[in-house]
Structure 1
């Protein structure tokens, strides 16, 4: 949408994120490009800080985020960051016949040092991302959740993704074709392991604030669905799924493609511990179709780099 409308993006002055795991700071935003007098969109990764964001964005901005089931979120975070977050790395190298995740969850306090900034993501990662105290519940927590509720125009729910997209489309006046998607950053099957009920219970206990936040916003989401109209929403979801399937059939020659078989432009960023799969497009697309299809499968880093160059006419500075 931003590229279509020639919007001005607020980018980090270097890298792909705003000083993560530190909170967002307005001075981290790159300069205003020539010909613009305000920023329209800020979509790079950050830890939420409303007062700092208000210094950058115009009056009455639209805030959007997404939450996911805390059990699935933490399992994914552990898998993707097992070699980069100190608390996870410590569990990973502990001699044991158990998985690193099981070792960590057996005694997470043993591995988690909250004084290490990089460990922020290792406990209640969604709470951490939204700028709240992710260590322990405090008396300010109810008020903090209310403030987030009042701030965000839409909190999407991953387990109701298509329904969330319909609500997003209504909020931003998007057409069904613009809401078409493929699943990005998918792990290879060998890197996905089912969780036992005991493991799920331990994840919930360790991430109790994420559970609280998720349930709070899920209720708000379901109320939003009710207000929109369930019958109307399901009718539009059906249309979205049909439209998306047609577009996938048109665009995709292969899905779940290993990184070594992909061109640099569409190869997802790889972690040290996982294989992240991608997509291959059909060869017989028109130039217009290729542009549309490419943007649907383009990994975040490559799209970020493309938009940055388009806006500034220079390469990004490395993070």
Structure 2
């Protein structure tokens, strides 16, 4: 037997009375602690569950869609939607036909409406675009504009509202030399008798610009690219106007490709448009005839750059912005570029006869030669803007009522192996996996709380603090009997040690939470 210890407890209404090292009491305490720990899991209300799901959705959004917080500023996994409205300003002699065919191929295979010229394959090379130049379709809805048109945004917005604007630029020296040969300016200016007509032109270009404005595309004799983008020749020597125009274009155009870095530009464009790698595969179009090239000396290059000062400013500005976008692309850029170029080589091996060209349009152009029996995959890559313009015009004539909204993820008849499974499928599967994981986590938590397995004659003892009937009725009866037995034993022991203790001082009661409870003045702990 132990000794009796008595103390005052004036700072609270009652005290607990229990036997130390009592196996029954200890087991009950263990069961109680287990019950409380599992009740934290089982007591998840629907509000808490909704809050948990919302938190998970936010985390998933930040990880998979929003930009990650790192130096590259790239998302860990890009899930995006393809751009639905595109206006491509096709500049002259800048590899613009190849880029145009890439965009037209995507739109043609996905069944979107194009804004086409009424006749031919160009709107106007000299007059600013006007909505009246567009061939109407019954739906009066256009999604893409790619044919040659001089940039004028207010009218273009009326045709394709809220579009993404892109264009392509080339080094002004190479662009002017190419345009001079392709558009036969030597014959138009009566310079074809000279050994190097382009060098003769650059001896006094202003004289030819002011005296001969009566032939096709004379506007390409000076600063042809910024002219295509809307700035008239009378402003080309005004640096303030030129700088303001370049600043405005940098805000209005989402992407400006650079011919000298065509593959790099296409990779950046792929991410902006949310396309797959296969969508930017290409075969070169409108290759200039080898007889229309001119020898460029260092002095001639300098003269050409000075003559095209406005184009040079424009080119240098957007060349710099391209490399900024390449840096923002992230550390995988070189890896993706190498992969893209490997795929281009595989396309050439599959589709093209090596080292063979076919001259077209009075020898100004040369075309790659398709292999005999090349399938639709190769043909769609080989088509240029003229072929696609006719295909699209015929398709819109036969099927004028195209859906006003489109997505490249919709099921449409496309050539095999031309497009890969879209990111929309990946997006759906990611959400399915996330929801399944949340459900499994919640079920595991509740099962672990409810199913507290014990060996032998043990029983489940997980209950909710707010639910008084959460444990078995037989367990409640056994517990009550045990408490009564302990109460009687403790009462007898108290009288044994302190016979003077009146009955009124031993007003004890069983308590389901704290064992035997002794009111107010005395607290007995036997050990």
TM over 0.5: yes
- Which of the residues 66, 81, 98 maps onto 2:168? 66
Question: Residues of 2 paired with 1:238 and 1:201: CA distance?
Answer: 34
**Shift of residue 91 of structure 1?**
4.5
**Inter-partner Cα distance in structure 1 for 2:207 and 2:342:** 49
Cα distance in 1 for partners of 2:364, 2:208 equals: 25
Question: Which string of whole-angstrom CA distances, capped at 9 and with x for unpartnered residues, describes residues 122-157 of structure 1?
Answer: 110101111113343322222211111111110001
Q: Give, in whole Å, the separation in 2 of the partners of 1:257 and 1:141.
A: 40
The equivalent of 1:317 in structure 2 is none
Q: Per the alignment, in what secondary structure is the counterpart of residue 131 of structure 1?
A: coil
What is the CA distance between 1:98 and its match in structure 2? Answer: 3.5
Pairing 1:101–2:190 present? no
Partner of 2:367: 278
- 8 Å Cα contact 1:155-1:221 kept in structure 2: yes
1:189 and 2:290 are equivalent in the alignment: yes
- TM value normalised by structure 2: 0.52
Separation in 1, partners of 2:335, 2:211: 47
Question: Which segments of 5 or more consecutive residues in structure 1 lack a partner in the other structure?
Answer: 260-267, 315-319
Q: How does 1:223-242 map to 2 (within 5 A)?
A: 223-229=324-330, 231-242=331-342
- Secondary structure of residue in 2 paired with 1:204: helix
What residue in structure 2 maps to residue 263 of structure 1?
A: none
Per the alignment, residue 38 of structure 1 pairs with 141
Q: Which residue in the other structure is 1:298 paired with?
A: 383
Residue 257 of structure 1 corresponds to: 357
The Cα offsets for residues 258-303 of structure 1, whole Å up to 9 and x where unpaired, read as: 33xxxxxxxx4x25xx442112222244xxxx22211211132122
Please state whether the residue corresponding to 2:332 is helix, strand or coil. helix
**Which segment is superposed worse, 174-183 or 144-153?**
174-183
Query: Separation in 2 of the partners of 1:21 and 1:174?
Result: 32
Q: 1:53 aligns to what? A: 156
Query: Is 1:23 paired with 2:128?
Result: yes
- Is structure 2 residue 344 aligned with structure 1 residue 244? yes
Residue 82 of structure 1: aligned partner? 184
SS of match in other structure, 1:163: helix
The answer (yes or no) to whether the contact 2:182–2:288 under 8 Å persists in 1 is no
**Is the counterpart of residue 173 in structure 1 residue 274 in structure 2?**
yes
Q: Secondary structure at the match of 1:283?
A: coil
Aligned residue among 90, 110, 117 for 1:5:
110
Correspondent of 1:202 among 287, 294, 303? 303
What do the CA deviations read for 1:25-77 (whole angstroms, capped 9, x no partner)? 11111112x3x34101001111111111011112x211110001111100000
Change (3 A) 1:119 1:146: same
CA distance in 2, matches of 1:21, 1:88: 20
**1:91·1:103 contact (CA, 8 Å) conserved in 2?**
no
Give the conservation status (yes or no) of the 8 Å contact 2:196–2:294. no
TM-score (norm 1): 0.85
Q: CA deviation at 1:167?
A: 0.8
The answer (yes or no) to whether the contact 1:18–1:44 under 8 Å persists in 2 is yes
Q: Which residue of 1 aligns with 2:54?
A: none
Tell me how far apart the structure 1 counterparts of residues 203 and 356 of structure 2 sit (CA, whole Å): 33
Which structure has the larger Rg over C-alpha atoms? 2
Contact 1:88 1:122 in 2 (8 A): no
Partner of residue 392, structure 2? 307
Q: Which of structures 1 and 2 has the larger relative contact order (alpha carbons within 8 angstroms, sep 6+)?
A: 2
Tell me the equivalent position of 1:122: 221
Assess if the C-alpha contact under 8 Å between 1:78 and 1:88 holds in 2: no
Separation (CA, whole Å) in 1 of partners of 2:346 and 2:391: 27
- Shift of residue 172, structure 1, vs aligned partner: 1.4
Q: How many pairs are equivalent?
A: 290
Q: What's the offset of the Cα at 1:88?
A: 6.6
RMSD: 2.1
**How far is 1:110 from its partner?**
1.5
Partner residue of 1:112? 209
Counterpart CA distance in 1 for 2:135 and 2:179 is 29
Structure-2 change in CA distance of 1:255 and 1:3 (3 Å): farther
Q: Distance in 2 between matches of 1:98 and 1:109?
A: 21
With over 3 angstroms needed to count, the CA separation of the structure-2 counterparts of 1:25 and 1:205, relative to structure 1, is same
TM-superposed deviation, 1:206: 1.0
